Structures are given as C-alpha cells and as structure tokens.
Amino acid sequence: MSLVRRVVLNSRPGKNGEAVPENFRVEEITLPTDIKPGEVFVRTLYLSVDPYMRCRMNEDTGADYLSPWVVSGCLDGGGVGVVESSRHDAVLKGDTVTSFNWPWQTYGIVDGNKLQKLDPELVDGHLSYFLGAVGMPGLTALLGVREKGHITPGSNQTMVISGAAGACGSLAGQIARLDGCSKVVGICGSDKKCQTLTSELGFSSAVNYRSADISAALKEHCPDGVDVYFDNVGGSISDAVIAQMNQNGHVILCGQISQYNKDVPYPPPLDAATQEILCRKNITRERFTVINYMDKFEAGLLQLLAFHSVMSGGNIGKQIVKISD
Ligand code: NDP
C-alpha cells in the first residue's frame, strides 16, 4: 500500500458567490500497489487550474460535457504525470502521460485507455507547456481565432481580447497578430499584466479594466473601431467592447468568466442595448467550444509547437509544419 495525498471537495460554494478554501480539503489515503489489468499507476507532475472548474463545484454544471465533482470525492482535471507501473499494453513504465480527468492526487491508479502519451522532447522538457500553450488553452486560442475570427491578412483588422493576460487570451492575441490582424488590444486587470502584453507578447496596446475608463481607452487604442472581439469574460467589459465594434464584425464567444460565480445560464443573456448593436451591425457572436473540434487537435498542436519553437529559437533556417506525407 502507498500513502498518497489528495484534494477533495469539502462542500459546494453554491451557485452564487466565490469558492473559498473551506470548500476543499487535503487528505491522506492509501492506494493498493497492485493494479488490475488495463490500469496504470501514475505519479502526478502538474495539475491544471481552469475557470470551467467553478461549474464543476455546482451540483448542476450547466454543460452536458462536464460532470459535477462529488462532495468528499477527489477533484480531477487536466494533468501531466509519469508512469510508475503499468498493466496496459500501450503505456510503459517511465512514459510521460496526460489526461483531461487526472485525479488531484500525488499518485493515482488510472484507466490506461484514458491516458495520452506525450513526448517531452517536443517541449524541451517543459512538461507544464502541455497544460498551457501546447494543450487545451493553446488549442482554444488557436481554433477559436481560426474558426470564428474571420481574420483576413492585409485587411487592417483590429482585434480586442478580454481576459488577455490569461492562458487563452495571451495566446489568442499572439496568434491574431501572426495571422494578420494589424492591431491587437488586450484588456486585463493590472498594469503589470498590461506591460507584459505589450513588451513581451506583441500586443499593440493594453487596457487595465480596474483603473481605466474602458470605453475611452478603446476609442484611443482602436481609432478605426473593433473588427473581432475574443471574449473571455462577458459582462460589462464585453458590453463596452461590442459598443465599439464595426459593421459585420465577429465576436468569438470563448468564455464568460465574470459570470461564473453567478446563478445564470451559459451563455448569460446579453443586455438589450448590446443585443441591439449585434443585430443592427450584423455582428456574429457564435459560441465556441474547443472539444467540438477534436478532429483538429493534432494539426493544431503541431502549429502551437511550431510557434513555441520559433519563439524559443528552436529552428535553424525555415520552420514549417508537415501535415501529411
Ligand atoms: P485564466 O484563468 O488563465 O484567465 C482568466 C482571466 O480572466 C484571468 O487572467 C483574470 O485576470 C480574468 N478575469 C477573472 N475574473 C474576471 C472578471 N470578473 N472580469 C474580468 N476579467 C476577469 O483562464 P483561461 O485563459 O484558461 O480561460 C479564459 C476563458 O476561456 C474562460 O472564460 C474559460 O471558461 C474560457 N475557456 C473556454 C473554452 C472553450 O472551449 N470555449 C476552453 C477553455 C477556456 P484579470 O482579471 O487580472 O485580467
């Protein structure tokens, strides 16, 4: 038997209000060291913390593809770890593996069919990248921009991104720039984040929504209006952005994090004035859900790896992505 530590849901925060530390507890349990056929004994290296997890704290997550966490049950989510022992044919001791349902335990026994093998060399050993730029947030940014953004290089488009310093937003801005937007403006919650977006991540400018008048700042930074809006947050920030969008613009409805601590459906209803602008200006606002694009994950990850490699000087000569023979 081996002693492991795990995080369990102690109580539900309720649909309204923020989750607090008392909603969770850390406990020790013992795991059998002998595993059954098909099972794999893993050591956890990294766990992903994501906004959708707030929905999993509710009895009803509001999404059919998300199951609620069980009170006194172990949390699970995106994770990366290493195989300690295996009774599954496709997974060997020493393999680096990932899963969307990794248990929040120091060690765990998992179904080998639910693991995907990872090649650490692809990220120069930075395994946490598989939960970020070369994982679900990277795919969300890439596919969100590509599937719903309608970017046309050379057409002088301006994109605004809310939640711009987060996992998806920071990547969406960089991808939009690489894909041909002439201006990429981020909205985030501190001056330090604004500074990072403009000095390190290639954003044209950034607005701190906690201290700036968003409408006035957008007028200044987007003098030709907003063509594409990558919406991670919803609420009043999104109302302010949509008010400055151009005719035939596009909202990429990625997430609405400002509403997750409220008892509202997803996506939350828009206020009447914002809805009127969408109709009058013929602005699309289609919901984007990354898991609906699984057939594009492999090619998407290759592109994200290429971005990573370009940014870290991994290429000598031209870097290209081979898609098939
Ligand atoms: P992160 O936690 O990395 O970033 C979220 C950002 O939102 C933070 O940087 C935070 O920083 C900002 N934020 C938090 N609360 C508020 C608020 N009330 N008002 C304004 N900003 C706020 O999350 P991700 O980048 O992983 O996710 C971003 C969005 O994308 C989420 O809404 C998430 O649900 C969604 N998502 C959607 C997917 C899909 O398939 N559609 C897949 C993955 C994520 P700060 O306030 O300082 O700017």
SS3 313: coil
Is the CA virtual torsion 292, 147, 227, 280 positive or negative?
negative
What ipTM goes with this model?
0.99
The answer to whether the CB of 237 is under 6 A from ligand 1 is: yes
Tens of pLDDT, residue by residue, the chain (325 residues) = 778 999 999 999 999 999 999 999 999 999 987 999 999 999 999 999 999 999 999 999 999 999 999 999 999 999 999 999 999 999 999 999 999 999 999 999 999 999 999 999 999 999 999 999 999 999 999 999 999 999 999 999 999 999 999 999 999 999 999 999 999 999 999 999 999 999 999 999 999 999 999 999 999 999 999 999 999 999 999 999 999 999 999 999 999 999 999 999 999 999 999 999 999 999 999 999 999 999 999 999 999 998 777 666 666 676 665 544 5
List, for residues 33-43, the tens digit of each pLDDT value.
Answer: 799 999 999 99
Name the architecture of domain 2-118: Alpha-Beta Complex (3.90)
- Report the CATH fold assignment for 136-291: Rossmann fold (3.40.50)
The whole-model pTM stands at 0.95
The answer to whether the CB of 169 is under 6 A from ligand 1 is: yes
**Which of 131, 145, 211, 233 to probe ligand 1 with, by most ligand atoms within 8 A of CB?**
233
Q: Which atom of ligand 1 is nearest to the CA of 253?
A: 41
Q: Which atom of ligand 1 is nearest to the CA of 290?
A: 40
Is the CA virtual torsion 137, 140, 141, 142 positive or negative?
positive
Which residue CA neighbors atom 1 of ligand 1 most closely? 166
Domain residue ranges in the chain: 2-118, 136-291
Cα of 260 to ligand 1 centre, how many Å? 10
Confidence at residue 320, expressed as pLDDT on a 0 to 100 scale: 60
Cα of 113 to ligand 1 centre, how many Å? 30
Cα of 161 to ligand 1 centre, how many Å? 11
List b or e across 3-28, with b for residues whose CB sees 16 or more CB atoms inside 10 angstroms. ebebbbbeeebebeeebeeebbeeee
